[in-house]
Amino acid sequence: MAERRIKLTRKGHEKLQRELFILTNEENSKVAEMLAEAREDDQGEEAVFFDAMVSKERLDERVAHLQNVLARAEIIDADEDPDVITPGNRVTVYDTAEKEEFTMDLLDTEEITHGRRGVSLDSPVGQALLGKGVGDRVKVEVPDGVVTYKVRKIEMIPYED
């Protein structure tokens, strides 16, 4: 089975590339130094060596994960359909019960996991909003109960954000 494509904003993609660069260059050399020092330690401190090995394993796992995400990434440069909510959109909704309007960015879970603020496409709210247009109402079950949103505006997330 083919792995799922990951839809990332250009900014999110660049952030992951920067993190991968830092991990493979700067952090990797720090961990290598720790390992070298631990090997040279004539005190026989196994705990220092063990800590260095654990750090190296975590670093390797993180690098492999980022490489996998970037290999499966599809960069969202343009709105697939400006009339319909799609990944990479900034959506303004009106909460009919709370009588308030707010805006949310719809992002892939990977982008949110890596520090970007937004609503995951895999969340109940994200799933309910996908494919809807301006004027549509959606009911979503959230931890506090059922909320009803009316879609007011759909736009691409600006690159500068």
Over residues 45-87, the pLDDT tens digits come to 677 677 777 888 888 899 999 999 999 999 998 887 889 999 9
pLDDT at residue 161 in the model:
55
Q: What is the CA radius of gyration of the chain?
A: 21
* Site of tokens 């709370």: 98
What per-residue confidence (pLDDT) applies to 123?
94
More confident residue, 157 or 80: 157
111 has pLDDT over 70? yes
Mean pLDDT of 101-116: 91
CATH entry, 79-156, from 3.90.180.10, 3.40.1260.10, 3.10.50.30, 3.30.9.10: 3.10.50.30
Of the listed ranges 30-34, 39-43, 61-65, 100-104, the least confidently predicted one is: 39-43
pLDDT of residue 38: 67
Q: Write the DSSP assignment of 40-89 as a string of letters.
A: H-TT--HHHHHHHHHHHHHHHHHHHHHHHHHHTEEEE-S-S-TTS--TTE
Start and end residues for every CATH 1.10.287.180 domain found in the chain:
6-75
Give the residue range(s) of CATH 3.10.50.30 domains in the chain. Answer: 79-156
At residue 1, does pLDDT exceed 60? no
Angle between helices 28-40 and 46-71 (to 10 degrees): 160
CA distance 21 to 23: 6
Residue among 136, 145, 150 at smallest CA distance from 92: 150
Lowest mean pLDDT among 31-35, 114-118, 119-123, 138-142: 31-35
Question: CA dist 62 to 31, 41, 113, Å?
Answer: 13, 27, 13
Res 155 pLDDT > 80: yes
Can you say whether the dihedral through the CA atoms of 19, 13, 109, 6 is positive or negative? negative
For domain 6-75, give the CATH number: 1.10.287.180
Instruction: Please state the separation of Cα 26 from the chain's center in Å.
Output: 23
Burial class (CB in 10 A: 0-12, 13-18, 19+), 125: buried
pLDDT band at 44 (very low <50, low <70, confident <90, very high): low
